[in-house]
Amino acid sequence: MLEEIALIFLLVGLTAYAVLGGADFGAGFWDLTAGSASRGARMRGFIHTAMGPVWEANHVWLIFVLVMTWTCFPAAFGPLMETLYVPLFLAAVGIILRGAAYALRGEAATISEARGLGAMFALSSILAPFFFGCAIGAIASGEVPAEGDASRPFGVWLNPTSLLIGALAVATGAYNAAVFLAADAKRAGIADLAEAFRRRALGAAIAAGALALGGLAVINADAPDLFDGLTSGTGLLAVIASALAGLITIWLVASGRFEPARYTSATAVGAIIAGWALAQRPDFLPGELTFEDAAAGTPTLTFVVIGVVVALLIIVPALYVLFRLKLEGRLGEPVQPIPGAPTEEERAG
Amino acid sequence: MLESIPTLLGPLVAQADAVSQPYLLEARQMQALSLAVHIPLVCFGISFPAVVLFVEGLWLRTGNPVYKQLAKRWSKVMLILFAIGVVTGTILSFELGLLWPRFMEQWGEVFGFAFALEGVAFFVEAIFIAVYVYGWDRLPERWHLASGIPIVIAGVAGSSLVIAVNGWMNTPQGFELDAQGNVTDVSPLNALLNPNLWHEEVHMYLAGFIVVGAIVSGVYAVAWLRGRRGPYYRAGLVVPLCVLALAAPAQIVVGDWAARTVAETQPIKLAAFEGLHETTEGADLTLGGWYADGKVYGGVSIPKLLSFLAFHDPNATVTGLDQAPEGDRPPVAWVRNSFQIMVGIGTLLALLGLWFLWCRLRHGRLPRSRWFYRFVVAAGPLSLVALIAGWIVTEVGRQPWIVYELMRVEEAVTGAEGVPVGYATLVVVYIGLAVIAAVMLRRLARRPPETELERGAGEVEVLP
């Protein structure tokens, strides 16, 4: 019972990170594809401003997931970290490079420096979710032994299922980011950017949907147990719920109703994460370690569950205030374009 | 069939690796490097918000715009350092698992609760730091001040909880071990409230104020020496100097308490602090000197002082390193020399603080000697050296144990082969982060303080 509650908290944290952190990463994807320095300037400036006040808070969900795993499921955390050290380390490096480039790009002295930093920001925005996705794929396809295995640093995650889920993580983040940015742009009254993100959201939704459907065939061939879990019983229900939420989001986005689309797109992500957990139930590490065996003792779980509930009472209202203020435009500067660095004439002027 | 062979072999290979990590030292250095980068940022998380709020409070009370300029400017520094701290803290969270998976696996459930609470504090800090810094001039004044209070509380609470885990590694409790050595009967609260928590927490908390006081006043002392002595620079100098002057002398008292607790709970560690080989009744204390090749070169020996300091009894018996088997002793040179550096710098900083207080209280003015300001400039880097030296004392002093007398570091380390690659990557990353921090802070410092009154929001990035 307790370990199930802890697991639900863990999954909620993972969903929050996949949605909010994923959208931050996705914003980097749209930055990469915004076009030439002059054409993409407004979009890049808007993305930069929209991320400003919230990226630290979005990022903390990752810490929450790590801490919940090592405290509540220590027997799984050890082997996970030991076995998947390559993708997890690369994801961590991606997070660092991304934060660094984001902070520095306004400082670039030349156009090529600005482009270089912009590219680093965008590229690391893609790599981080990709490697996290690969790590999840390796867990889901049963590659992680209960004793940990550092002897196959690449073999464990360079397989079709892992790569697929890595790609899916990137696509989902891009799609969520486009939905959120469209909503932000509409609120800010910038109609053309809202329209631009609307089109991008639809494109990304189709890409993510196609990847998910095509991916089922890959999973069927590569990880049949996972496929069975996702296509039967409660796992199937979650997959259907996710697909439905995705379709509703597409409909909402297509008709320009971005605010409700924020929530339905988050639901789609949450449902597929729940589906993953249901598909491999009762195992944490499929075929190796059950949730029950991985779980910490009752006293620890009791303390953490009570602690998280109390914490939510503090954090949820605080987060509400932050997002409220941000959405009302009461935090931060008005949008300014990022055209790369100023030219000599601009500097002189 | 063929595919299942690696899976079958996996556990065996992993077990074999567990006892042979050729890069254990590099793994420890990597962890130490990450801690050394993160801890100065933690100091700013612990104490800087309180200092910023104090200055904002001065503004609300006096209406003097200089205080607003200062508080707003400092809040941006706070945000930059927090953002970098988020990154370095994330690296640390990953490293705990990536470098020491067996430590986390076996003991995670005992101390993890503290980290869970720390995560909450971190969350609160991240939320309100955004509200506070981006909310300048946009929130009603009192609400803006109020939005900073959670940052102060969360900064202190978060660091206390991490220190609770460090205290626990030094005095592990709050669990039982069964016949197979598995952890049972965990009491998370008991683990959290361990005997080393209290002095470590107060010691670190004061250290946070000393480091922030020394570094920030050092920046304005440079300006002072260059002749910039207007009200803005004066306030920027005096506020952190007061912080330093109050915290540094108090730290000496707390340091004494910390050493006495270590004498009780980890006598071998205390012996390493002093380089005491034989268990001695009425042990002498050698001030200063340099420890190498098993003995202290130089320094002043004061009879019976060590016994007196450790137990408040000049004839008390102090345990020496000889009470522990050779393999269970920490590397004494590292520990003793770091300890001396920490104590020496701490004493200098306390004297500097007293100099300031003397002029201030006795004569009602700032010290006139240029040397005072030169010392203040030097105090910033020196305080960082003392801070890192202090952590070397407590961390290296615990060696060879990761969990004191229960788990050795070589039992905790990963079997992964990529340690040197990761280490090299991290070095590059940290150099990059340092450059970024320097560039951003310099850019901020170049803007005239008056701009803080013009600009609406507290955004940090200037888009070209």
Q: State how far residue B5 is from chain A, nearest Cα, in angstroms.
A: 12
Instruction: Give whole-number Cα distances, B7 to A133, A147, A189, B2, B139, in Å.
Output: 21, 11, 56, 10, 58
Q: Do A307 and B117 touch (CB under 8 A)?
A: yes
* CB contact residues (below 8 A), chain A span 14-73, against chain B: 45, 48, 52-54, 56-57, 59-60, 62-64, 66-68, 70-72
Q: Is the pLDDT of residue B386 over 90?
A: yes
Q: What is the pLDDT of residue B239?
A: 93
**What is the rounded distance in angstroms from the CA atom of residue A216 to the CA atom of residue A228?**
10
Kindly indicate the confidence band of residue B245, based on its pLDDT and cuts at 50, 70 and 90. very high
Q: Is the pLDDT of residue A234 over 60?
A: yes
Strand partners, B301: B286
**What is the rounded distance in angstroms from the CA atom of residue B10 to the CA atom of residue B101?**
16
Domain housing A333? 2-344
Q: What is the pLDDT of residue A241?
A: 94
Q: B121 with B89: CB under 8 angstroms?
A: no
User: From B8, which residue of chain A is nearest by alpha-carbon distance?
Assistant: A145
Q: Give the three-class secondary structure for B198.
A: helix
> Which residues in chain B are contacts of A148 at CB distance < 8 A?
14, 101, 415
Which of A333, A338, A345, A347 is the best residue to mutate to test the B interface, defined by the most B CB atoms within 10 Å of its own CB? A333
The percent of residues above 70 in pLDDT, for chain A, comes to 88
Better-scored residue on pLDDT, A328 or A174: A174
Whether the CB of B326 is below 8 Å from some CB of chain A: the reply is no
Predicted ipTM > 0.85: no
Whether the CB of A151 is below 8 Å from some CB of chain B: the reply is yes
**What is the rounded distance in angstroms from the CA atom of residue B6 to the CA atom of residue B8?**
5
Better-scored residue on pLDDT, A212 or B181: A212
Kindly indicate the confidence band of residue B7, based on its pLDDT and cuts at 50, 70 and 90. very low
Instruction: Say if residue B184 is exposed, middle or buried (CB neighbours under 10 Å; 0-12, 13-18, 19+).
Output: exposed
Q: Do A85 and B11 touch (CB under 8 A)?
A: no
- Between A65-69, B188-192, B293-297, the lowest mean confidence (pLDDT) is in B293-297
Sign of the Cα torsion A12, A14, A18, A21 reads positive
Q: What is the pLDDT of residue A103?
A: 65
Q: Do B138 and A330 touch (CB under 8 A)?
A: yes
Q: Using one digit for the tens of pLDDT, what is the confidence trace for A90-125?
A: 998 888 887 777 766 555 556 666 677 777 777 888
> Which residues in chain A are contacts of B415 at CB distance < 8 A?
82, 148, 150-151
Q: B124 with B154: CB under 8 angstroms?
A: yes
Whether the CB of B91 is below 8 Å from some CB of chain A: the reply is yes
Q: Is the pLDDT of residue B9 over 50?
A: no
> Which residues in chain B are contacts of A6 at CB distance < 8 A?
none
Mean predicted confidence (pLDDT) in A125-142: 90
Q: Using one digit for the tens of pLDDT, what is the confidence trace for B107-144?
A: 888 888 888 888 888 888 888 888 888 888 888 888 88
> Which residues in chain A are contacts of B115 at CB distance < 8 A?
67, 70-71
Determine if the pTM surpasses 0.90.
no
The percent of residues above 90 in pLDDT, for chain B, comes to 25
Domain membership flag for residue A106: yes
Q: Using one digit for the tens of pLDDT, what is the confidence trace for B267-308?
A: 888 888 888 888 888 888 888 888 887 788 888 888 888 888
Q: State how far residue B40 is from chain A, nearest Cα, in angstroms.
A: 18
- Between A53-57, B67-71, B165-169, the lowest mean confidence (pLDDT) is in A53-57
User: From A109, which residue of chain B is nearest by alpha-carbon distance?
Assistant: B464
Q: Do A96 and B101 touch (CB under 8 A)?
A: no
Strand partners, B183: B177
Whether the CB of B190 is below 8 Å from some CB of chain A: the reply is no
**What is the rounded distance in angstroms from the CA atom of residue A229 to the CA atom of residue A226?**
5
Q: Is the pLDDT of residue B462 over 50?
A: no
How many distinct structural domains can be found in chain A? Answer: 1
Q: Give the helix ranges, DSSP H, for B301-449.
A: 305-311, 332-358, 370-396, 409-412, 419-446
Domain membership flag for residue A76: yes
Q: What is the pLDDT of residue A19?
A: 87
Q: Is the pLDDT of residue B385 over 90?
A: yes
SS (H, E, C) B330-365: CCHHHHHHHHHHHHHHHHHHHHHHHHHHHHHHHHCC
Domain membership flag for residue A349: no
Q: Is the pLDDT of residue A145 over 70?
A: yes
If you average pLDDT over each of A299-303, A322-326, B203-207, B282-286, which comes out highest?
B203-207
What's the first-to-final CA gap in chain A, in angstroms?
Answer: 67
- Between A110-124, A190-204, B86-100, the lowest mean confidence (pLDDT) is in A110-124
Pick B462's closest partner by Cβ from A85, A89, A106. Answer: A106
> Which residues in chain A are contacts of B184 at CB distance < 8 A?
297
Whether the CB of A327 is below 8 Å from some CB of chain B: the reply is no
Q: Is the pLDDT of residue B333 over 90?
A: no
Q: Is the pLDDT of residue A332 over 70?
A: no
Which DSSP symbol is given to B408? Answer: E
Backbone phi, then psi, for B414, in 5-degree steps? Answer: -70, 160
Q: Do A66 and B118 touch (CB under 8 A)?
A: no
Query: How many pairs of residues across A and B have Cβ atoms under 8 Å apart?
Result: 257
Q: A254 with A178: CB under 8 angstroms?
A: no
Mean predicted confidence (pLDDT) in A37-53: 75
Domain range list for chain B: 44-194+417-451, 245-410
